[in-house]
């Protein structure tokens, strides 16, 4: 997850600086669902939503939804926004909103099969959430360049005073050496940096973002380096 460095700044003890924590915050998460196509896997969508509800996730970024076109769906507990290719059931991103998040939704935009943007306004804050599903590291450079060009335009158009959060699968390894980009990376990065990792760090530097996951320790049971 990428966070706006000018608004939210994790520190090494796991606390958050720069945010008024007296109000109830949205709980934001992300899940690579590897298809919620009802034709091929009936019941998968409701199963995913029940799990999100179990952990009280208010806003969940979803990738590899493999739904065609764009639109909305409803489950028992969530309202789902989705964006995909017109005909092929490939890639695809979505955003699942619990009831209190849905009430705060003011607009959303299906950019393409890899990017979706939504904006929320509460009495305490304004929030732009962008869900992404980046090309894999072995994808040709032009495709990766195009992805980050479009994503940069989306971030640049966010309202000036919004808290900007990006969640999704960047298919990147930023490495464990925080000194490579100390303003962006914390001490809890994983693996060895790859081309997608370099691109991600450059993108963060351009838009004053930090790689949120690298600032917090993770339990070993949840760690997987592909």
pLDDT tens sequence across 65-97: 999 999 999 998 999 999 999 988 899 999 999
pLDDT reported for residue 50: 95
In what order do the strands lie in the sheet containing 28-32? 28-32, 59-63, 93-97, 79-83, 70-74
Q: Which residue has the higher pLDDT, 124 or 195?
A: 195
pLDDT reported for residue 132: 98
CA nearest neighbour of 59 among 103, 9, 11 = 103
For residue 119, the cross-strand partners are 107, 128
Mean pLDDT of the chain: 86
User: Hey, how many other C-beta atoms are within 10 angstroms of the C-beta on 12?
Assistant: 12
Write down all domains in the chain, each with its CATH number in brackets.
2-220 (3.60.10.10)
pLDDT reported for residue 104: 94
pLDDT reported for residue 23: 42
Is this structure's pTM higher than 0.75? yes
CA nearest neighbour of 83 among 98, 72, 75, 74 = 72
Per-residue pLDDT tens digits for 142-183 = 999 999 999 999 999 999 899 999 999 999 999 888 888 988
CA distances from 174 to 109, 118, 134, 164, 218 (A): 28, 26, 14, 20, 15
pLDDT reported for residue 9: 44
Q: How confident is the model at residue 190 (pLDDT cuts 50, 70, 90)?
A: confident
Q: Rounded distance, CA 172 to CA 134, Å?
A: 9
């Amino acid at each position: 997850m990428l966070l706006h460095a000018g608004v939210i700044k994790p520190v090494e003890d796991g606390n958050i600086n720069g945010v008024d924590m007296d109000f109830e915050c949205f709980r934001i998460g992300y899940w690579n669902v590897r298809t919620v196509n009802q034709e091929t896997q009936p019941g998968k969508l409701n199963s995913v939503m029940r799990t999100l509800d179990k952990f009280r996730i208010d806003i969940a970024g979803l990738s590899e939804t493999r739904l065609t076109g764009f639109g909305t769906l409803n489950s028992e507990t969530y309202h789902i926004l989705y964006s995909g290719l017109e005909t092929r059931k490939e890639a695809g991103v979505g955003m699942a909103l619990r009831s209190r998040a849905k009430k705060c939704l003011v607009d959303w935009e299906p950019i393409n099969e890899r990017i979706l943007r939504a904006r929320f306004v509460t009495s305490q804050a304004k929030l732009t959430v962008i869900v992404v599903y980046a090309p894999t590291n072995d994808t040709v450079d032009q495709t990766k360049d195009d992805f980050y060009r479009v994503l940069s335009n989306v971030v640049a158009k966010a309202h000036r005073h919004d808290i900007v959060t990006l969640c999704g699968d960047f298919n990147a390894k930023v490495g464990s050496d925080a000194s490579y980009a100390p303003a962006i990376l914390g001490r809890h990065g994983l693996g060895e940096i790859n081309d997608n990792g370099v691109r991600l760090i450059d993108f963060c530097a351009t838009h004053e973002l930090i790689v949120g996951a690298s600032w917090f320790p993770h339990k070993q049971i949840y760690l997987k380096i592909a």
